[in-house]
Structure formats: structure tokens, C-alpha cells
Amino acid sequence: MKKLWIVGVTVLLLTVSAQTALASTGMGGRAMGMGGAFTAVADDGTAAYWNPAGLTQIRFGLTPTLGALGEWDEFSKLRDKLEKLEKVGSFTDLENLEIKKLEMMVNLGAGINFSHFAVNLFFDPNIHSGGLNRKNGDLEGNVPLVVSLSIAREFTDLLGVGVNLKGVALGRGVADYKIEDVMLDIEGLKVPLKAPNGEVKYGTGMGYLLDVGGLFKVSDRVRVGAVLRNIPLGGIKLEGKRSNTNTEDLQNKLKDYITDAEGDVEEAQKRLEQEIEKGYTNVLLTTEDYTETYKPPTILAVGGALKLPVTGTLIAADYEIAFSSKEENSFHLGVEQPILGVIFLRVGGYTADDDVRFTAGVGGKLGPLLLDLAAVQGEDSVGAFLTGGFRF
């Protein structure tokens, strides 16, 4: 009963301290082979990424890792296209970038981990887009470079707590616009005009985030964990360019059309809307400098892990709660089966964006040398993750 009470208090404290993660699929061949159900496991070189409290289970680890999800060969092209967002002059220019519906993530990481301290470097860009054209646009891309300093401590043989302090250098591009009524002022007369309306912006900046994690050993075979990821410490200060619909240009065009129509506002309005619809008239953007404080949505992950007797099978499950209206909660499930303590087979799955993605992986251990490989298969996405390293 006392152990269960401590578990409840630990999870409650983490929940209460929640505010609102840079979106990421995950990192590490072992964790991803288990469907990302790693909050209560977190005992390899990627422990700081998943749950910093897991560092208390490691004496020493050195781990490079890489992974990708989506169309890999398109990533470098998309990175260049994101940078061009601050230079577009019209909605037609946005269409000419040829950004289609896609979801893409690439991550690289490396770190050195001790039982109570770790230093890790993560490069974790991700892009989600519903596509861009001259009428509608939906895109969000984050390109973060993260340096993480981690500290962990065991307060008892049962309870460990860890903290990540993360310095983030971020490039962020957003496009959000659609056809809707834009109110134009024609000599005091308010005239609605159906045209693409919204904003496009690209900025870069730096800031700090905090992760807080806990790991509780219910028994030798059962663990529960919780981690609150990406608590903003003042947010990330972004500076860049922001573009909006150039209403002044539309007003001037409509005035010219009213003159051509001999004062018939309705006829001029209909003509201009038809030309915008067919692409004969280019709707321009007006660009300005902008600054903003971006606060990534915070995510609370709660998980449990069970190691079966005799077979040594490890079963883990996570539930992630996103404190943002744009992010969805997700469920993760994974199984690992050791063979002679040398080979490890893994299967799992997780939910993401109304899709269920299945994972599988294999790992090998030869003394302190580790090698883990995982594959991810979704309805519209395929990914692979590879991790190597040393662990003592």
C-alpha cells in the first residue's frame, strides 16, 4: 500500500506541475522497436531523452543514434524550402514551392551518460504539412538543435528523479491560410472579398526548456515512470519575417475594377473573385519583421514496465498527454524478448495523427557493445532507427 501511495503522489506532482514537446516521434533503436513505450524502461544511452530519472540505472554509456520517418530524400529539399518562406511575395509563390501533404522527421543524437549526470546533443527536425497552394496552406516545421544537461538522483532504492535542462536553437516555419472573406475599405464602404487570408512566417531564436522525470520500482519486475517534457523557461525568442495578405493591393485592384464597371461594386467584386479563383490575379503578400515568444506544447508521459519471470520478456506501455489543442494524446505499447542475453527481438506500436504505426526491431549485445535497429510502418509513413554504443 505504501508503495502504491508513493506512485500516486509522484504522478500527481508531475501532473500538477504541467503547463502546456517540440513534436517528435522518438529517438533510439531500442525504444522505437518497442513502439516508444520507454518512460518506465529508460535504461540505455537514450535514457535522458525519454526519462532523465532512468540515468540512475546506468553506470556509464556512450551512444550515437540516428533515425528518420517519412520521405528521407526530400528532407534536405524541404529544409531549403522552409528558409524561403520569409522571401515569398505572393500566394502563387507559395504554391510554386511545391510542398505537398507530408509528415517527416529526422533525428540525430549523441551523448555521454553517467549514473547521475549526462550531456547529450539532439538534432530533431520535424515537418508536418497539409500542403501549400495559392488558396490554402497548412504547414508547421521545427528544426531544433538541443544541448541537454541532465542530473539524476536516487532518493531511495525505489525512487529516482531526474531533470534535463535543455538549451534550444530553433528555426521554425509556419503557414496557415485559406480562402475566406477579406474586408476591404472602398472609400468608407466595407466590401467583403473572397481571397486567401492568413499568415506565413519563419523565424529563428534560442531559449531554454526543462524536463522533469520520475522512476519508481514497485518490485524487481515492475516499474512505473512519468516525465513532463518541454516545460518552457521563458519560452524561445524568435525573430524573422511574417507575411500577410496585402489588403491594400486588393483594394486598389477592386477600385480599378469598379471604375471599369462604371461604379457597379457587386460586378467588380464578382470579377475580381473569379480571377483570384482561376489564378488570373496574383494575391500579393506584405512582409514585415516580427518577434514572438514560442512556447512548445508540454507533454506528460506516464508509463509502466513489467518483466516476466522465466522468459525475461519485457512488456511496456506509455500514455502521452499533450497540453495543446494542436497536439493529440498518444498510446504506446512494446514488447522485448531476450534470447540468451545476446539477441533481443522487439515489436510494438503507437498512435499518431489518427494513424496506428507498427514497429519492430532487433538488438545485439556483445560485452559492453550494443547495436539496436528498428523499423516503423504507418499508413503513409515508413521509418528506420539505428543506435550503437557502449554501456557499462
- Please report, for the chain, the start and end positions of each structural domain, with discontinuous segments joined by +: 2-246+283-391
Q: How far apart, in whole angstroms, are the C-alpha atoms of residue 185 and residue 59?
A: 69
> Is the CB of residue 173 less than 8 Å from the CB of residue 201?
yes
CATH (residue range 2-246+283-391): 2.40.160.60
Q: How far apart, in whole angstroms, are the C-alpha atoms of residue 309 and residue 74?
A: 46
- Of the segments 3-7, 260-264, 341-345, 355-359, which one has the largest average pLDDT value? 341-345
pLDDT reading at 392 higher than 60: yes
pLDDT reading at 65 higher than 70: yes
Q: Check residues 57 and 306 and name the one with the higher pLDDT.
A: 306
pLDDT reading at 336 higher than 90: yes
265, burial (CB in 10 Å: exposed 0-12, middle 13-18, buried 19+): middle
Q: What is the mean pLDDT of residues 285-292?
A: 92
Indicate the pairing of strand 299-307 with strand 285-294.
Answer: unpaired
3-state secondary structure of 90: strand
pLDDT of residue 161: 97
Q: Check residues 26 and 197 and name the one with the higher pLDDT.
A: 197
* Mean pLDDT estimate for the chain: 87
Taking only the tens place, the pLDDT of each residue in 219-269 is 999 999 999 999 999 889 999 999 999 999 999 999 999 999 988 999 999
pLDDT reading at 218 higher than 90: yes
Q: Is 17 left (phi over 0), alpha (psi -120 to 50) or beta?
A: alpha
Q: How far apart, in whole angstroms, are the C-alpha atoms of residue 270 and residue 192?
A: 11
pLDDT of residue 89: 87
pTM of the model: 0.82
Q: How far apart, in whole angstroms, are the C-alpha atoms of residue 185 and residue 179?
A: 18
pLDDT of residue 12: 31
pLDDT reading at 201 higher than 80: yes
* pLDDT range class, residue 350, cuts 50, 70, 90: very high
Cα angle for residues 368, 372, 377 (degrees, 5° grid): 170
pLDDT reading at 22 higher than 70: no
pLDDT reading at 16 higher than 80: no
Going from the C-alpha of 348 to that of each of 59, 75, 120, 268, 314, the distances in angstroms are 27, 26, 26, 59, 12
> Is the CB of residue 166 less than 8 Å from the CB of residue 208?
yes
